[in-house]
Structure 1
Amino acid sequence: MVFVVAFSAFGSPAWAEPHPGAEDRRSATSSTLPSGGGASTDAGDSPSPPVAGKERLGRGSQVAPFDESRSREYFAVSATSLDSDLVDRVRDIDGVRSVEVVDAARIRIDGVTMSVLGVDPSTFRNYAPTPSAKADEIWQGIAEGRIALSNDAGKQRDLDLGSTVAMAGARGTVDKEVWTHATSGVAGIDALISRESAGELGFPSGNGLVVSAPDTDLWQLREDLLEVLGSDVSLQLLAEESGTDSPDADGEPVGGAVIERMIAAAESQLGVPYVWGGTTPGEGFDCSGLVQWAFRQAGVEIPRVTHDQWWAGEHVDYADARRGDLIFWRSDPTAPDYISHVAIYLGDGRMLEAPRTGDVVKVTDVRTHKMAGVVRVHVAD
């Protein structure tokens, strides 16, 4: 069975929606980190993610060369295919530079549910993080029917390059070779395949859009997209504000008593193993799963995906961090500008986190290297 991807980056009643503007936005190749955030990254200097064996690439599937990096402002997804006239109306929205049509679904890969996009390798590559976008062999491999797992999904689940995974779709199970570990740049997406492979698995055709509008006001763009697409289409904000002067979230910071209940809940899981995609107390958590669960125990709902948790409140400098704030990092070598890890700040330079496969939930010293910034979670008025 194929489950349509359902993203809910906006509208959750217990956290404030962001009010981003166009100023200081991180572009697809931006490298500046907030002050107090440690060393910066340079996407242009990052090596291309390795592939399983480029010497085995054929010549049957032609992929267009890299054109130019295109920003990613929003991802829109519907339960059904989006009409071509509707897509054209999105393209006509003021400030929209380009729109990429994709097929989106949640399916089982080796027994674990993952969010997957079916893409046109020739055009989607221009929206990918720079280290991957320029690597012809990545997109050639996808065009030839292989699967590109995100860096996190591939490595944390020990799905090695060259191994075979079983993808269970609406039309049966198909085996795919793991071609690379490379994050797509679309938050929450665990894997990329070609649109031909997506059709083979029974994905809805053309039910997702990646929208590039680099010079627009993001909040106005959201309103315009909702007006065109309607309320049945989910929108996820992909762009990020850079620097410490991002607009404050609406609402009020989570109160001290609630923060202490949240931290107590997180501390109750010390020693529990890291599990990719884990959300189960006593059995396993990943970094964002632990944070979401701990806040939920204190009566506060925040998003599930690390990138969306970045928008759960006010951005503050690390020097001003308080107990209970969330600390974020950009530590994915395949996507240097991507929010990829989160931890709970405890104060006095200490934090609580679910680090990686093979490790456990634990308290450690704060790492400033590759730190993206700090978020103080707010609740709506």
Structure 2
Amino acid sequence: MCFSGVAAAGEGLAKPVNLPAYDAARPPCRAPAGLQKKLVFVQDNKREFMQGTGRGLEAAARARGLVYSVAFANNDPALMIRQVGDIAADKTGAIVVAPIDPPSLAPALKKVIAGGAYVGAIVPPPATTVLNAPQYLTGKVLAEAAAQYIRTRLGGKAKVVLLTHDGLQFLAPRFTAMRDTLRTLPGVTVVADISPATVDKEGGYRTMKTILLAQPNIDVVLGADTVVLGALAALREAGKARADQFLGGIDGEQEAVAEIKKAGSPYKASISLASPIFGYAMGQQAADWMEGKSIPQAMDILPRALTSSNIAEYERDTANPGAVYADPSRRASYLKMYGNICYDTRDKYINFPWSSETR
């Protein structure tokens, strides 16, 4: 079904709906008119996960002849709102955004959608395409790896630190999964369950320094790679890093991968969300949108635990995301797509906390 296309945005799909599988054969609708062939990444901060997203977006833009640029907000939500407003005024055809404060940014993003541009959002809506991960499963995969290590290498006992993002409701299920899994181990004590002030290395470093004042001997640290890497720096600075510790993160960041490959490192696991690959996919979908094609309303990036046996394959894939995207079977091992949307049906944009998980 097509619509008139006149400022067709409104509040979008504000109530949760179950999206069917993406139909790549869906016929196209009209291409948006009067927009520049530009793709802007509105980036929250410079953690490696987001840098990887940018590499994928830039590669896709280059492949499709789009002008690419980055609007860097440096963890400043007010600056991000101004940046999105400027992008809307500039008639930019596509943006991908990693929101800092989703509620305050939402009105600006709705204006961009109403103007006909593609909006891809990394986790929080509103967006024409929402990128998420099965968050509970993501946390569970990491926690189960830690639990297995605690049972087999630490004698079933461990002091655990959880570095969370509970203030961001869209990521909270991953930490619920960690707590649920660790609760099954009677010898585990969670000595700190805390959200760093910023989701970056500095935030993890400062938080761990404070924790070490009260708990100088830590066995396990779990969280996003960027904050866990910061925690590792604090442990090393204090002389409290040990080869038998289990530090594990989520995102598959390059520095975390390098630590896993390093002999004697406390860093034992990273759950890959392959940001260059989903970045490339969103860049391709942005170009398709500007050509009037039907694209997914939502995508899962599927979690996988990186091990010494698969890191080489992972590094090959993230170094060349275009090859992964062009190969349906390889692409399906990283991405799962849902729903359909195009310029004429943009009033059906996602405006609720979408997740493929039912819990």
Tell whether the structures are fold-level matches, with TM greater than 0.5: no
Structure with more of its chain in strand, by fraction? 1
TM-score (normalizing by structure 2): 0.28
The structure with the greater share of residues assigned to helix is 2
When normalised by structure 1's length, the TM-score is 0.27
